[in-house]
Amino acid sequence: MPRIALYTLAVCLLAVAAAVVSFAQGSWLGIVWVLLAGVSSNMTWYYVKRARAAVGRDSVTG
């Protein structure tokens, strides 16, 4: 897994934890954290898929 994908995964997990804490404290600011978690999750999947495609493109079968 590429390093950037690991960073975005860490941001996603931290954003989810921040959203839980915000909602537990009764703050509506948790919505922002949920949106950030969604964006970082999509970024994680993008970088993972891009890395897999690059590995598949470099391999030669035959």
Largest CA distance in the chain: 60
- Domain interval for residue 35: 3-53
Question: Residue 59: what pLDDT?
Answer: 64
Q: Has residue 60 been placed in a domain? A: no
Q: Is residue 46 part of a domain?
A: yes
Q: Tens-digit pLDDT profile for the chain (62 aa)?
A: 899 999 999 999 999 999 999 999 999 999 999 999 999 999 999 999 999 998 877 665 64
DSSP letter string, 4-34: HHHHHHHHHHHHHHHHHHHHHTT-TTHHHHH
pLDDT score of 61: 60
Evaluated on CA atoms 6, 12, 18, 20, the torsion sign reads negative
- Sign of CA pseudo-dihedral 29, 30, 36, 39: negative
Domain count of the fold of the chain: 1
What's the pLDDT score for residue 35? 98
The answer to the question of residue 28 being in a domain is: yes
